[in-house]
Amino acid sequence: MNPSPVLVLTAQGDRNIPFLTELRQMTTIVVGDSPRDFAGAAEDAEVILNWSGSLALLRDVFLLSRRLRWIHSRAAGLEQTLFPELIESEVILTNGGGVFSASLGEFALAAILYFAKDFRRMIDNQLAGIWEQFDVTMISGKTLGIVGYGSIGRAVAARARALEMRVIGLRRHVPQLSDQDPLIEQVYESEQRLEMLSRCDYVVVTLPLTERTRDLIGDAEFAVMKNSAVIINIGRGPTINEQAMIKALLEKRIRGAALDVFDQEPLPQGHAFYSLPNVLLSPHCADHTPDWLDDSMRFFLAQLDRFQRAQPLLNVVDKKSGY
């Protein structure tokens, strides 16, 4: 067993950590939710697993861990993981990207069908005891734009293509994906987003939150979208300007929005999203399947095995870019 301990950082009161027995069979571990819990072990630690710890806790323990070589974040998003000392260090950072892609892909597809078939109207009529026939729309042949075509975007694209949707994408760097990836017809650069968005019937945003992506979609972007378009955010809330989106929804310049992420979480009482009839709201649990925590730990156990065997780690983050 590796004598160097793995430090497992948690939120206060979080005891929901699966497979601890399996982890202890692989290495010595120290679990805690404050810097003092790690004071004796940090000096020898080479690995930190940030299971649910805060950014402040991670930074404090990082500064105590002079032999540190690798940090793994359970989450895919890194806004609660990156800080200047880590960015400038040689410590490897990996994340949980890809672990939740399938469930998020299913949520995006469910949101598309929710609006295409007008499920809200069906439910409202059912509760009111109203028999009212109305037209629904097909998604076959419609254009889906994916803003941030990575692991989650590919999961969305695979499911959309199975229902015969056309898929286009937006990336910061544009490889020749159309020659290599049969799921997507065309890829646009970030500066071409107005052109791309104007084509879309549905827009799925899967972006991480960085300085480049904050407020990437705002008034100008909503202005070019079809009034029948639906926007779906399963990335990070602040990548879409919230006030611009609320204005577009109120003025019915777009058909609707399905949102799993928000500027402020939990969403405060009285927020406009609660009362807008053209919003489908998920309290940031679109990927919370019954085994999502198990899957997260299984991925880390596989990563730890690779680390102990001196094999390349998966999901290595570009710390300066933030993803």
Provide the pLDDT for residue 252.
Answer: 96
For the chain, the average pLDDT equals 95
Residue range(s) defining the domain that contains residue 249 = 101-281
Q: Which residues are catalytic?
A: 236, 265, 284
**How many folded domains does the chain comprise?**
2
Q: Are residues 162 and 25 in the same domain?
A: no
Provide the pLDDT for residue 178.
Answer: 47
Distance CA 199, CA 168 (A): 9
- Whether residue 104 contacts residue 204, with contact meaning beta carbons closer than 8 Å, is answered with no
Task: For residue range 89-112, list pLDDT tens digits in order.
Answer: 999 999 998 999 999 999 999 999
Q: Are residues 72 and 124 in the same domain?
A: no
Compute CA distances 110 → 67, 205, 217, whole Å: 46, 15, 22
Q: Are residues 116 and 95 in the same domain?
A: no
Q: Are residues 176 and 227 in the same domain?
A: yes
What's the CATH number where 252 sits? 3.40.50.720
Tokens representing residue 82 in the block:
């990156």
Provide the pLDDT for residue 80.
Answer: 86
Task: For residue range 225-279, list pLDDT tens digits in order.
Answer: 999 999 999 999 999 999 999 999 999 999 999 999 999 999 999 999 999 999 9
- Whether residue 168 contacts residue 196, with contact meaning beta carbons closer than 8 Å, is answered with yes
Distance CA 229, CA 65 (A): 49
pLDDT at position 117 over 50: yes
3 state SS of 230:
strand
Provide the pLDDT for residue 172.
Answer: 79
Q: Are residues 80 and 117 in the same domain?
A: no
Provide the pLDDT for residue 174.
Answer: 64
**For range 115-126, the mean pLDDT:** 98
Between vectors from CA 176 to CA 171 and to CA 178, what angle results, nearest 5°?
A: 90
Task: For residue range 186-227, list pLDDT tens digits in order.
Answer: 999 999 999 999 999 999 999 999 999 999 999 999 999 999
Residue 207 falls inside a structural domain? yes
Residue 212 falls inside a structural domain? yes
